[in-house]
Structure 1
Amino acid sequence: MRTNEHPEHPEEPVPAKPPGPAPAPERVLTERDLWHGTDLDLDAYLARLGLSGEPPPTLGTLTAVHRAHLAAIPFENLQLLLGRPVPLDVPSLTDKMVHQRRGGYCYEQNLLLAAALDRIGFTLTAFTARVLVGGDGRPRPSTHALLRVLVDGEPWLADVGFGGGGLVEPLPFVDGHQVSQGGWNLRLDRVSEIGDEEWLLRGFAGGRWRNLYLFAAAGVLPQDYAVYSHYLTTHPRSPFRNRLMVARSVGGTRYALNDTTLSVERVDGTGETRELTPGEMGTVLHEVFGIALDQEERRTVEGRVREFLEA
């Protein structure tokens, strides 16, 4: 008699005995040195800012470093106009912005600041924000870098990479906090635009409050900045690829160069705007923004700006 090798109703396997309660999860992300502050030449960085010594992790130190960084290191996107990559590792940032005395854009600026603050002893969290300046209310991607810094257990917003119109000093995470920083008026509000908690930073200029940027309360990791930076440096419609942007904030004066338009804004409400010839840009970059380009770099930047204006 033959057996049925393929029965119509095979026996179902008996489930294994269920496990007991799972143990508490172990830490998944084990890297602790997120900001690589040990890779930074802190003395050289502080000297670039006009500071010295071994600063303690206090609010006074955070404020002094933040203000000095803004005044000393300009916001700029010249690397993209020069056809060069934008590395975000701390040694590369130190070489470019400290030793070569160049500037950078938000990821470069705030990662350099973060490395310094980490080295000094602060605890940091990375955030990204949606820039609202010049927008029409339609959502933009969250591509601006900023930092939350803990001082005596209290969170402070730090951002040296907005490129004009933003923070002069750190700002406490307090809903409705309005402050004058060296004559520049800012306000931070907790809002609910997308989820349960976002923060809106506004600045007062030209007789009205302007929305600057919106960011969620959930942090990101420094490694995420590399992804966002890649988008900004490679996307065909990225503004960083299609125009020259340079800015610097010194005391009560803000300077901005957008292609050939040089703007000066002061806390007393005065200011002026003038158009430069492409041949003037190298001199203005050096004298106003502290950026020295060699002759070949000047020609390249001038040529790219001409292309932008003719497009």
Structure 2
Amino acid sequence: MSASPTSPSASPSPSIDLDAYFDRIRYTGPREPTLATLNGVVAAHVEQIPFENFDSLLNRPVLLDPASLQRKLIHDRRGGYCFEQNGLLLFVLESLGFHVRPLSARARVGRERHSIPPRTHLFCRVELDGVSWLADAGIGRLSPTAALRLELDTEQPTPHEPRRLIREGSLYYHQARVAGAWTDVCDFTLEEMPLIDCEVASWFTCTHPQSHMKGRLLVARAAPGGRRVTLLDNEFTIREADGTPNKRTLTSRDELLSVLAEHFGLHLDRDIRFHVAALPWMA
């Protein structure tokens, strides 16, 4: 694939407490800017920091500055959506000495190809020894647990689902093979997403009534051994490495809070209240 790397950032790396971050994701591997480090950090991040949208449901602002991201995702042991997950990952990778840039995309998980979702997804492009890699810790139930080489039509293994990148016209598609079939994860053009664009897109994602983050509960985490755990409203699913889903319907506040604590490491206040049609007992 012909794709020229982007220019390095002129701004200094933000102050990131790497020791606290690595403790949060339970990462004890090397810290040199190598592919092994990149893959190790991505896998640990996706397994330990859950994707979740509670702040959107609670009408709380989502802040993207380094201090706020560290406070929420590291010290408060919360999760977040793509702008938080990949925003923090980008700052961490910069602090480790990686050449990394933010890219924009359209999330396509669960969407038909003919639909045009908003360009409200952020992920990372990393340059290593003249090769471009894509890292994405924030696409929910299909966040890849390894970096993907920016190379077309090649099946790439990860600790979870195989991945590939294809191109149709001007668009690149990131796809995952789930239950034997390739499914779209996101589409992108390699266009960068500056902080101001992230702020605008995140505001839409967090607050707009038609945003997919409003009106439904979304929680996801990769688990060891190729398994994944997801929560969509009241449907809790453990998907085995072979793609077999084990589903369970939650019927009470206590059951929901128990699942969040046990399977996602999210310990929420017993009195938390938000409005989701499928969860009337949370209002």
Superposition TM-score, scaled by structure 2 size: 0.90
Which of residues 236, 239, 251 in structure 2 aligns to 1:265?
239
How do residues 20-35 of structure 1 correspond to structure 2 at under 5 angstroms? 32-33=10-11
In structure 2, the CA distance between the partners of 1:267 and 1:208, relative to structure 1 (3 Å rule), is same
Q: How many Å apart are 1:247 and its aligned residue? A: 0.2
Which residue matches 1:141? 118
Q: How many Å apart are 1:309 and its aligned residue? A: 6.0
- Tell me which amino acid in the other structure corresponds to 1:144: H
Q: Does 1:214 align with 2:191?
A: no
Count of aligned pairs between the two proteins: 272
- Tell me which amino acid in the other structure corresponds to 2:276: V
How do residues 186-197 of structure 1 correspond to structure 2 at under 5 angstroms? 186-192=163-169, 195=170
Q: Does 1:79 align with 2:55?
A: yes
- Tell me which amino acid in the other structure corresponds to 1:179: Q
Q: Does 1:178 align with 2:126?
A: no
CA distance in 2, matches of 1:234, 1:101: 23
Contact 2:160–2:227 (Cα < 8 Å) also in 1:
no
Which residue matches 2:261? 286
CA distance in 1, matches of 2:144, 2:9: 30
Q: Does 1:108 align with 2:80?
A: no
In structure 2, the CA distance between the partners of 1:60 and 1:31, relative to structure 1 (3 Å rule), is closer
Q: How many Å apart are 1:248 and its aligned residue? A: 0.3
Contact 1:57–1:122 (Cα < 8 Å) also in 2:
yes
CA distance in 2, matches of 1:109, 1:292: 19
In structure 2, the CA distance between the partners of 1:93 and 1:52, relative to structure 1 (3 Å rule), is same
Q: How many Å apart are 1:243 and its aligned residue? A: 0.5
Work out which of the two has the higher radius of gyration on C-alpha atoms and give 1 or 2.
1
Which residue matches 2:103? 127
Structure 1's unaligned 5+ residue stretches are: 1-28
Task: Classify the secondary structure of the residue corresponding to 2:259.
Answer: helix
Which of residues 205, 230, 234 in structure 2 aligns to 1:256?
230
Contact 1:178–1:187 (Cα < 8 Å) also in 2:
yes
Task: Classify the secondary structure of the residue corresponding to 2:123.
Answer: strand
Q: How many Å apart are 1:181 and its aligned residue? A: 1.2
How do residues 292-307 of structure 1 correspond to structure 2 at under 5 angstroms? 292-297=267-272, 300-301=273-274, 304-306=275-277
Which residue matches 2:134? 157
Structure 2's unaligned 5+ residue stretches are: 1-6
CA distance in 2, matches of 1:274, 1:135: 23
Superposition TM-score, scaled by structure 1 size: 0.82
Contact 1:166–1:203 (Cα < 8 Å) also in 2:
no
CA distance in 2, matches of 1:31, 1:120: 14
Q: C-alpha deviations, 1:290-310, integer Å up to 9, x for none? A: 00112222xx14xx2357669
Contact 1:247–1:255 (Cα < 8 Å) also in 2:
yes
Which residue matches 1:223? 196
CA distance in 2, matches of 1:80, 1:170: 28
CA distance in 2, matches of 1:114, 1:47: 17
CA distance in 2, matches of 1:77, 1:62: 26
Which residue matches 2:4? none
Identity of aligned residues (%): 37
Greater CA deviation, 259-268 or 51-60?
51-60
Which of residues 48, 62, 73 in structure 2 aligns to 1:97?
73
Task: Classify the secondary structure of the residue corresponding to 1:39.
Answer: coil
CA distance in 1, matches of 2:178, 2:252: 29
Q: Does 1:199 align with 2:166?
A: no
CA distance in 2, matches of 1:49, 1:129: 25
Contact 1:43–1:52 (Cα < 8 Å) also in 2:
no
Root-mean-square deviation (CA, aligned residues, Å) is 2.1
In structure 2, the CA distance between the partners of 1:236 and 1:150, relative to structure 1 (3 Å rule), is same
Q: Does 1:169 align with 2:146?
A: yes
Q: C-alpha deviations, 1:85-143, integer Å up to 9, x for none? A: 11111101101110011100000000000010000001111111112233231222211
Task: Classify the secondary structure of the residue corresponding to 1:92.
Answer: helix
